Amino acid sequence: MKARTTTGVSHYEVQKTRRAKFIEDWRDNRRDVVSLADVTLHDSARGSRIGVYVGVDGDRPTRTMDALAHEFAEGTVTTIHRHSWDAMVLVVAGWGWTEIDGQRVEWGPGDSLHIPAWAWHRTGNDGSATARYLTFSSEPLLATMGMSIVEDAGHTPYRDLVPRPEFTAHLDGDDPYARRVRRLGREQATRRAGRLHTSWDDLELVNTPRGTRTTFLLDRAIGYQASGITMAMFEIAPRRGQSMHRHPGEAWLYVLDGHGHTYLGTEPEGGTVHPWRKGDLIVVDHFLWHQHFNDDPERTAKVVRIHMFDSLLETMRALCDPLVLFEEPPTHIRDRQAGDPGTVDWPTPHRPSWP
């Protein structure tokens, strides 16, 4: 073994330099709000047009989730493909369908879908107007472990494609290997039986202590079996705001309707204010205090919140315990910030329109 006296090439220096460059690049490319105008759509080999809100393929790197926009011209049927990560779909315009492992799911504005990992899927638009949806996926998280894989099969019929990877459901024995086989078998059986679609017409909005009314779009509480990404929609009354809070990890908020602003700061006061409007994506990160406000004096604002709480953030909470990783002001301050949502004359929700 050779010993070197120059510390500049030691593992310590190499890792220190690499880590410093990573965080420098991260900060240079980070955005607090990605506006609709910043998302450029490109024709793709799939037959659709694709743009990036957040993700390395759009020069806005991220570590756990990405956010892409997809447009489908009338008469479009995309190629069929699958990937090692799962994706959540939020329809914002038009009517169409997505085939998931041979099952055709019809959708319209405001609907949500789950594309499981390794599920073959393609999308079509049989209507007379352009359709558009957003996807939020766990691809960046898998990429950090070298496990991001995509396979495109052109326009091959689903019946001619190999199914999702096989798994062993049961193995006798009480040794650690047998117990692992059974545990993973149960996990896969549960995940493959998960829900795939939420229709806008089935949503029920409920008042919350944080001054909004809200509903799950995609979450294990309503039967989905995703990789940890959850989607919920909340509605802010005219000239009101959601109470302040903070948490780690990447949390994004897509503005489905309305306009307003968001406070972001390392402290509850003295931070910065960021305006947003329909079609924008609000990026909340770095354990910042944040609060969202509706600036319209007459109409409510609808915002879809996406984060990876049920996997990544739960893991962080366990690793960092007893540190508090979700924090709100004391109850009396929270309630004063939010106001009583029960005093609001909430309108009947209608499917979102575009633009």
Render pLDDT for 269-305 as a digit per residue (tens, 0 to 9). Answer: 899 999 999 999 999 977 889 999 999 999 999 999 9
Render pLDDT for 102-118 as a digit per residue (tens, 0 to 9). Answer: 999 999 999 999 999 99
CATH homologous superfamily for 33-191?
Jelly Rolls (2.60.120.10)
String of DSSP letters for 172-237 = --SSHHHHHHHHHHHHHHHHTT---EE-GGG---EE-TTSEEEEEEE-GGGT---SS-EEEEEEE-
Render pLDDT for 49-95 as a digit per residue (tens, 0 to 9). Answer: 999 999 989 888 888 899 999 999 999 999 999 999 999 999 999 99
pLDDT over 90 percentage in the chain? 67
Q: What tokens appear for 148 in the block? A: 């991001």
Cβ atoms within 10 Å of 158's Cβ, excluding its own: 17
Global pTM exceeds 0.75: yes
Render pLDDT for 30-51 as a digit per residue (tens, 0 to 9). Answer: 789 999 999 999 999 999 999 9
**Domain limits of the chain?**
33-191, 203-343
Asked if the model's pLDDT at residue 8 lies above 60, the reply is: no
What is the model's pLDDT at position 4?
55
Q: Do domains 33-191 and 203-343 have the same CATH topology?
A: yes
Asked if the model's pLDDT at residue 166 lies above 90, the reply is: yes
What is the model's pLDDT at position 5?
55
Render pLDDT for 226-250 as a digit per residue (tens, 0 to 9). Answer: 988 999 999 999 999 998 988 877 7
With residue 16 as reference, give the H or E element that holds it: helix 11-29
Residues 6+ apart with CB under 8 A from 156: 80
What is the model's pLDDT at position 335?
73
pLDDT level of residue 208 (50, 70, 90 thresholds): confident
In CATH, what class is 203-343? Answer: mainly beta
Asked if the model's pLDDT at residue 181 lies above 70, the reply is: yes
Q: CA 178, CA 58: separation in Å to the nearest integer?
A: 43
Instruction: Verify cis geometry, omega within 30 degrees of 0, for the bond prior to 140.
Output: no
What is the model's pLDDT at position 14?
79
Cβ atoms within 10 Å of 31's Cβ, excluding its own: 15
Average pLDDT, whole number, for the chain? 90
Q: Which range has the worst mean pLDDT, 11-15, 103-107, 146-150?
A: 11-15
Asked if the model's pLDDT at residue 309 lies above 90, the reply is: no
Render pLDDT for 316-334 as a digit per residue (tens, 0 to 9). Answer: 777 778 877 778 777 777 7
How many residues in the chain? 355
